[in-house]
Amino acid sequence: MSFYSLWSLLRHSCTGHGNWSRAWRSPSLRSSYDIIIVGGGGHGLASAYYLAEEFGVRNVAVIEKGWLGGGNTGRNTTIVRSGYLQDASALMYQHGLELFSRLSSKLNFNVMFSARGVLQLAHSVHDLQEQSRRAGACRLNGIDIELLSVDRVKDMLPEINLHGRFPVMGAAYQSDAGNARHDGVAWGYARAADRLGVDIIQNCEVRDMLIRDGKIEGLVTSLGDVRCGRVGVVASGHSSVLAAMGGFRLPMTSVALQALVSEPIKPVLDKVVMSNGVHVYLSQSDKGELVIGAGADQYSSYSQRGSFASMDEILSPLVELFPYISGLRMLRQWGGVVDITPDRSPILSRTPVEGLYFNCGWGTGGFKATAGSGHVFASSLAGDEMHPIAAPFSLDRFYSGLVIDEGSAAGVAH
């Protein structure tokens, strides 16, 4: 496994780039591991990487039903920000943002994190008041959210139409937030974990759990049985299916969330723009495509297809906000199965089965937390004790009532 550097680039350019080694191995499943991570998306691969890199557990496997990053990691709108209202969420998402900002050099892989700034538009007096409250809460937690006047919004986004059906009245702005290349994050973590000896097994479906006396002993997979000490399930929309194998339920509904990209155009937008009010999120990728996030469907689904109604609902306000979009054709549209919890906050928790941990419930906004979630989950798995940042996100909150309500705080747009 070669180290990526200017020197390696020069050396391989002499041989026509024909001799690059594979970024990670394709090992066969061994009969036992200390810890198995179920789910080879960003969060799962990050968990495996931090287990090996920081917490000294190298006898680790990541088991993935499909291909790496083929679920919601490859299906989101790549926004990384941390402006959440509740203290527990602020700590979690800020932890992720800080890790993201140094991730490329840490992984020796360019995840193309770009702190270009994220604007959340306000369309009403209520929006302005809510943003002011959230900005205050964020600043108390060390997250710098700035409130912008309408003029500053226009300066930053010259193409915006301020006087639509829902006029723009201001915005909350986080300057150190931005976006990253989603596939790059999965591949970077996979390559770095693989270098540390983690076995990444693709096309391997978990079919059942081997549980004895309330303790997990192993997994039944499509490639055979495997024994293990602990299991961390990071399966987003399919978490309830895996929980059923363990004999318990989760507070979760799986729904389809979709996004779409336009044909590539010249640089026109150098910020990430979100609006909870008219339900828009928009950014421009480095390829020039406009990346557009739509809303979640209002009914449960495992189909990985979004409804036409949701697509229509996002494009109408978007065309009003940015009229130039009306002339663009949309290139691709896709859906992902997201795991929505009642309080719109994730679940990082022990389960009724000893040794079985779940990291799920990231719903419509998990990409931004990939690094932070992986880090605190790895710490929890390695030490058999929930990391302080992860502890408030336990399943117990649905019994005690100490829920972390981000439903109203983050609104629909994550």
Partner 1 sequence: MLRVTCPWCGAREQVEFSCHGEAGIARPADCSSLDDRGWGEYVFFKENAKGITLERWEHIHGCRRWFIALRDNVTDCFLGFSKPGEDFPQVPSSYRQALSCASIPMPRSAGGYGKNDKKVVLKR
Question: How many of the other CB atoms lie within 10 Å of CB of 321?
Answer: 23
Task: Using only the alpha carbons of the chain, give its radius of gyration.
Answer: 21
- C-alpha–C-alpha distance, residues 232 and 309, integer Å: 36
Token couple for 6: 């200017």
Token couple for 164: 């639509």
Q: What is the size of the binding site for partner 1 (CB under 8 A)? A: 33
- C-alpha–C-alpha distance, residues 1 and 114, integer Å: 27
Of 25-33, 41-49, 69-77, 251-259: span binding partner 1 (CB under 8 A): 251-259
> Strand pairing of 330-340 and 253-262?
antiparallel
Closest to partner 1 by CB, 267 vs 401, is 401
Among 161, 300, 333, 394, binds partner 1 (CB under 8 A): 300
Of 11-19, 53-61, 162-170, 244-252: span binding partner 1 (CB under 8 A): 244-252
Which residue, chain included where needed, has tokens 């009724």? 352
Residues 6 or more apart from 335 whose CB is under 8 A from it? Answer: 75, 256, 257, 258, 303, 304, 305, 306
Q: Which helix (H) or strand (E) holds 318?
A: helix 308-321
* Interaction pattern, residues 179-198, with partner 1; x per rule: CB under 8 A: --------------------
Closest to partner 1 by CB, 142 vs 352, is 352
The distance of closest approach from Cβ of residue 410 to partner 1 in the complex, given in angstroms and rounded to an integer, is 19
The distance of closest approach from Cβ of residue 130 to partner 1 in the complex, given in angstroms and rounded to an integer, is 25
Among 245, 273, 325, 348, binds partner 1 (CB under 8 A): 245
Residue 78 in contact with partner 1, rule: CB under 8 A: no
- C-alpha–C-alpha distance, residues 288 and 268, integer Å: 8
> Restricting to residues 313-342, which ones interact with partner 1 according to CB under 8 A?
342
Phi/psi at 224 (5° precision):
115, 175
The distance of closest approach from Cβ of residue 211 to partner 1 in the complex, given in angstroms and rounded to an integer, is 8
The distance of closest approach from Cβ of residue 314 to partner 1 in the complex, given in angstroms and rounded to an integer, is 14
Residue 203 in contact with partner 1, rule: CB under 8 A: no
Token couple for 27: 């090992």
Residue 124 in contact with partner 1, rule: CB under 8 A: no
3-state per-residue secondary structure call for 95-159: HHHHHHHCHHHHHCCCCCCECCCEEEEECCHHHHHHHHHHHHHHHHCCCCEEEECHHHHHHHCCC
Of 33-41, 76-84, 186-194, 394-402: span binding partner 1 (CB under 8 A): 394-402
Residue 248 in contact with partner 1, rule: CB under 8 A: yes
The distance of closest approach from Cβ of residue 300 to partner 1 in the complex, given in angstroms and rounded to an integer, is 5
Of 26-34, 107-115, 138-146, 293-301: span binding partner 1 (CB under 8 A): 293-301
Of 71-79, 128-136, 174-182, 245-253: span binding partner 1 (CB under 8 A): 245-253
Residue 299 in contact with partner 1, rule: CB under 8 A: yes
Q: Which helix (H) or strand (E) holds 412?
A: none
- Residues forming the site for partner 1 (CB under 8 A): 211, 214, 238, 240-241, 244-254, 298-303, 305, 307-309, 342, 352-353, 398-401
